[in-house]
Amino acid sequence: MDGMVTTVLETTEDLALATLDAEEMDGPSEATDLVDAVNQVNSEKIKVASVTVTLSEDVVDLKENRADVCSAGMEASSMDLAAAVVLEDRSLEVTDVVAIAIGMEQAPPLIQLPCPFMMGSIFRLLSAELLPAKSIADQAFDGVIVVGHCLKELKAQSALSGLYNTLEGYFQLNAGARDSTSLIPIDKSIVPSGRLIYSGTGPVHRDFDDVRSYKAAAQAGVRLALSAGLKAPILATVPHKRFPQAELVSVLGSLHPLYVPLNVRDDGVPRRMEKLGLLAVQQDQKTFVHLAEAFEASFTVCRDVGDSDPIRMAPPRVGEYIEDVFKGGNVKVSVISNPEEIQKDYPMMAAVNRCANHVKSHQARLIKLEYDSGDGVDETVMMVGKGVTIDTGGTDIKTGGHMFGMSRDKYGSAIVGGFFKALDVLKPKKFKAIGYMCMVRNSIGSDAYTCDEVIKCRSGKRIHIYNTDAEGRLTMLDPLTHMREMAVNERNAHLMTIATLTGHEVLTHGFHGACLDNGPAVREKYGYKLQATGDEYGQPVEVDRLKAEDFKFHLAESPSADLRQGNTIPSTQTLRGHHTPAAFLQMASRIDEHGLDSDKPLKYSHLDIGSAMGDMPDVTFPNPLVALVAHHVIPRS
């Protein structure tokens, strides 16, 4: 593994194989914790010949008084040296430990312990430990869940053919089970636990069928597994030629019912399922599991930010969470918290948060994330996410129950955080990304911003406020302008805004996000390429086009302003109500000055995700996170 060194420590003591309980190891660890972990008793003691500790390169430089201990491959005679390796006088973060392996005196194989510390402690972000399953007969698991569309196709797969006779017999008794979810007894010589769950996708051959049927079937299968008391099932999917990502889509769906909300985890509530075995039928097993881990970690970050209530994830606490979850990883995080700095450099964002700023725990945060592979970058993605932790509507207050669910108005920022977690884990090559999570609270009070105000934004444009409930575009505007200023010096830059922006988008596209490109992005057919990727991975994205009238709509009516923010009625009552904000953001940030006719054209895409992630209070399914990661990250990983 690149950037890692290994120290081998010899011992003649009787030691037990460590179970390395994830909960105990998920936090700062003193030196002796590793020794204690190795000494945890399972059921029988093992004579250990060697212990191999792998640490990340940045913590292995222990040359102060311990140069002899820290040399790669150095042999020592006592477990005391293990404590020396992890520094007796200093705490060791779990992200510093990559692996521990134990070699036994009377058994040639080296036992590699499960490593919850790996990749920035990714283990704590998984809703269940994801492990490769050897076969449907793997005794490490307590059941098998099969997602399928056709019994004949199942029989054709050698990894699953052993299930055929049992399923054929059951379907003769219950024909409806082909397209539903059933718990079926099975001979223990085939599945050691005797428990098989079959979850049918229903029809997948019609013009309008898509791979999301596998996601829904996997969700149903896991819900039944939980109801039946399974704690560690295997998941396998019958492949389909029309849907090459069906196996992965099933895994992503299966993990959805397992998510435990952040505030519940804060109280120590355990996982709903201990582990999930992944049996790749037509995929490379190692790559398959790694990709599933990356997606699930990114989903957890996204949900933790997006689903959490407005106090648990108030702007300062989002900043703390993001700093913690990326600590020691491949993403650099910096947080701007000084109200004066935000007022000076991001005046529109400051205006939205002006009322909330009087409550310290509600003060705005601008969170910057940076990933740089450092190997000849040929693409730079620059994302700005809307992060309104609760949208009251401001002085144009939401009434009639329409404020309910507005804690999820921060989901654009949640997508940005999730995207960067995928970068952190998958480490794509020749790729750079910069993200802004614009965290504010649109509160009501004596210092709230109001309609009729004219505010000069970072670009110098004067913006006439018409409706304080159109705060999302204002929150993102100045960070987007800052991105535009940086983009002219970046390699192949692509600017994006991601936001739960309008009800009009929801009425137009339902639970699918919309992509609106500027000229340079249209020239590269970005929206249609993202749409094709989304279709393949089960996350459809709709493509909309901008017209001249969208830009004309935002020209100021008052001589005191250059642009008007919007109008005085909801987007749902406005013609082209989710198109015009994309035009406003271009004009107010001056991205429109970098069109196809410019010496320095810049690609820009506006993603209005509406309610694509799902309705409150259900657990969300991060959207369009899968499409973005699959399009930008997976091909480079």
Q: Which of 398, 429, 462, 590 is catalytic?
A: 398
The first and second tokens of residue 195, run together, are: 């428990």
Tell me whether strands 195-200 and 181-185 are parallel, antiparallel or unpaired.
antiparallel
- Write out the H or E segment, with its range, that includes residue 485: helix 471-487
Residue 398 designated active-site: yes
| Whether the Cβ atoms of residue 323 and residue 331 lie closer than 8 Å to each other | no
Tell me whether strands 380-391 and 432-442 are parallel, antiparallel or unpaired.
parallel
Distance (Å, rounded) from C-alpha 229 to C-alpha 192? 16
* Amino acid sitting at position 89: D
Residue with tokens 């991060």: 622
Distance (Å, rounded) from C-alpha 80 to C-alpha 85? 9
Residue 335 pairs in a beta bridge with 367
The first and second tokens of residue 354, run together, are: 């002006």
Residue with tokens 């939980």: 226
Q: Which of 178, 421, 473, 576 is catalytic?
A: 473
- Write out the H or E segment, with its range, that includes residue 264: helix 262-266
* Amino acid sitting at position 579: H
Secondary structure class of 565 (helix, strand, coil): coil
Distance (Å, rounded) from C-alpha 580 to C-alpha 548? 10
Q: What are φ and ψ of residue 551, in 5° steps?
A: -75, -40
Residue 473 designated active-site: yes
| Distance separating the N- and C-terminal Cα atoms of the chain | 15
| Whether the Cβ atoms of residue 624 and residue 537 lie closer than 8 Å to each other | no
Radius of gyration of the chain (CA): 26
Q: Active-site positions? A: 398, 473
